[in-house]
Amino acid sequence: MTTNNKEKIADYLSRFFPVHDLKDEDDIFELGFVSSMFAMQLVSFVEHEFAIEIDNDDLDFDNFRSVKALDEFVARKLSTAVAH
């Protein structure tokens, strides 16, 4: 995990959620924080913040479920972008 990316993700999510101590593995869907509109905003944030393209195959809840899941997803996308 990259701490810097994880911090960016946590900072972004903390602007929208009333929980100030969101843990890395807290499930934001299970906590009821994610609407369909926010899910679209989250995808847009990840694409713009990390300069990656999110394909339809990437639109799996598990990739966006928590700070940790998002961080791992971004790391995978960045590593495949570098590999190409």
12-59 confidence digits (pLDDT tens): 998 887 766 789 999 999 988 888 889 999 999 999 999 999 999 999
Residue 37, domain CATH = 1.10.1200.10
Instruction: Report the domain count for the chain.
Output: 1
pLDDT tens per residue, range 50-72: 999 999 999 999 999 999 999 99
Q: Could you tell me which of 11, 1, 24, 15 has the C-alpha nearest to residue 74?
A: 1
Cβ-based neighbour number of residue 39 at 10 Å? 15
pLDDT attached to residue 26:
92
- What pLDDT was estimated at residue 62? 95
Q: How far is residue 84's CA from residue 64's CA, in Å, rounded to a whole number?
A: 24
Domain that holds residue 31: 3-83
pTM: 0.86
